[in-house]
Structures are given as C-alpha cells and as structure tokens.
C-alpha cells in the first residue's frame, strides 16, 4: 500500500488547571478520508478518558473550528464546521492545530501533522478503519484528577443530556465556576482557546 496516511503527533499541554511537563503524547496514523470526529474519539481513548459525554473543539491554524454541531444546540463558536463530515484531508504537512476536550476541565492538546505520509500496513499489518495510535510516551493524568476509587468527581448534569452539551451547560449549577460560564467563555472565545494552546507550545509563529 502507498504511503498516503497522515502521521499526527498529539501532545497533552494542560488540563484540570495545570500545565503538564514533560508532556505525554501519542502519534496517530490517520487516513485523509477520516473525519475530525473520528480523530477526536481516537485521541480521547488513547489518553485514557472513559467519560466521553463532554464537548470538544478543534481549532485549526486558519482559525476554523471543528466539533460535533449537534451537541451545541445551535450555540457553537463562529466558523465551526461539523466534525462528522469534515475530513482530515484539509490538513497540510507540518500544520499545527489545537484540540480541547471538556470545556470545563480544558484538556488542551497540541497536534502536529508529520511532514511525511506513512503506510498503515507497515505499522499495523492491516488497514484500520479509524485513526489509531502507533507510538506514545509519558504518564497520563486521570480525567478527573482522581487518585483512588471513591474520590468525588466533577459536576454532574441533571438535565438528562450528555454532560457538556449546550442544554446541560445551561441547566447545571456548580458554584462560582459554573458550566454555564464555561459555555460562555468557549462560545465567545473559542478561537482564543486554540490560539493559547498553540502559543504555549512555543513552536507557532504569532
């Protein structure tokens, strides 16, 4: 098989209020025909997340966002395309972009597209039907910063919608740092979130 797949390096920059150093990371093999939604799922699983009922947001180098529009109830940030239908073919070699999972805990990732394409058969002996990690390093933090069973987790949604959906964010109440405020910050400053992640990498020209 020809070397047509993308190699995407993903580093976990920060989350749960803390910057991570050294940064744990994974390198993914992904076809250009795969979607951003598929890449998001692969990243979340590879970084050990089990509660996936949260919003996520990609910010590309041109400021375009990609996310699951049906989760936002019409309140997605401007310039957001649907992650289900938008393909990775829009990525260019060497491009850097940001991925944020859970707008409350802000698990922020720096993603870098490799300069060279790869052959998935060389890595896996087959052609996967979704993006798959083929290299990795570092210690992964718990999604809710829990160190043992029984530790209290993050807020819970009482609306019956997935935690992190726009409807849930309007209905949840969690003290001063409410999920409703999280949505406002993300909606008004979605692009800025991505720019901050890329800027903290120290490798993106402003």
Name which of 205, 204, 206 is nearest 11 in CA terms. Answer: 204
pLDDT of residue 148: 87
Find the helix or strand (DSSP H, E) in which 101 lies: strand 96-101
pLDDT of residue 150: 77
pLDDT of residue 188: 41
- The span from the CA of 200 to the CA of 82, in Å, is 26
The list of the chain residues with pLDDT below 70 reads 1, 151-206
pLDDT of residue 32: 97
Other beta carbons within 10 angstroms of residue 35's beta carbon come to: 20
Q: What is the 3-state secondary structure (H, E, C) of 147-160?
A: CCCCCCCCCCCCCC
For the chain, what are the domain ranges? 6-140+190-200
pLDDT of residue 168: 39
- The span from the CA of 141 to the CA of 48, in Å, is 8
CATH classification (class only), 6-140+190-200: alpha beta
Kindly report the pTM of this predicted structure: 0.77
pLDDT of 76-87, one tens digit each? 999 999 999 999
Q: What Cα–Cα distance (Å) separates residue 7 from each residue in 73, 88, 111, 171? A: 33, 11, 10, 40
pLDDT of residue 164: 47
pLDDT of residue 192: 59
């Amino acid at each position: 098989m020809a070397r047509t797949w993308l190699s995407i390096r993903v580093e976990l920059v920060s989350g749960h209020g803390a910057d991570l150093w050294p940064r744990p990371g994974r390198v993914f093999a992904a076809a250009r025909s795969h979607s951003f939604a598929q890449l998001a799922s692969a990243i979340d699983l590879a970084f050990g997340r089990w509660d996936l009922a949260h919003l996520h947001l990609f910010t590309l180098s041109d400021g375009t966002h990609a996310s699951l529009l049906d989760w936002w109830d019409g309140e997605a940030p401007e310039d957001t395309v649907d992650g289900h239908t938008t393909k990775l073919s829009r990525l260019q070699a060497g491009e850097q972009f940001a991925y944020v999972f859970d707008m409350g805990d802000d698990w922020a990732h720096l993603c870098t597209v490799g300069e060279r394409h790869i052959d998935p058969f060389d890595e896996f002996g087959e052609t996967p039907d979704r993006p798959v990690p083929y290299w990795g390093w570092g210690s992964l933090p718990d999604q809710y910063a829990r160190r043992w069973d029984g530790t209290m987790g993050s807020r819970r949604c009482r609306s019956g919608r997935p935690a992190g959906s726009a409807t849930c964010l309007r209905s949840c109440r969690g003290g001063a740092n409410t999920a409703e405020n999280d949505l406002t910050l993300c909606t008004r400053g979605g692009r800025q979130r991505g720019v901050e992640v890329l800027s903290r990498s120290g490798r993106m020209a402003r």
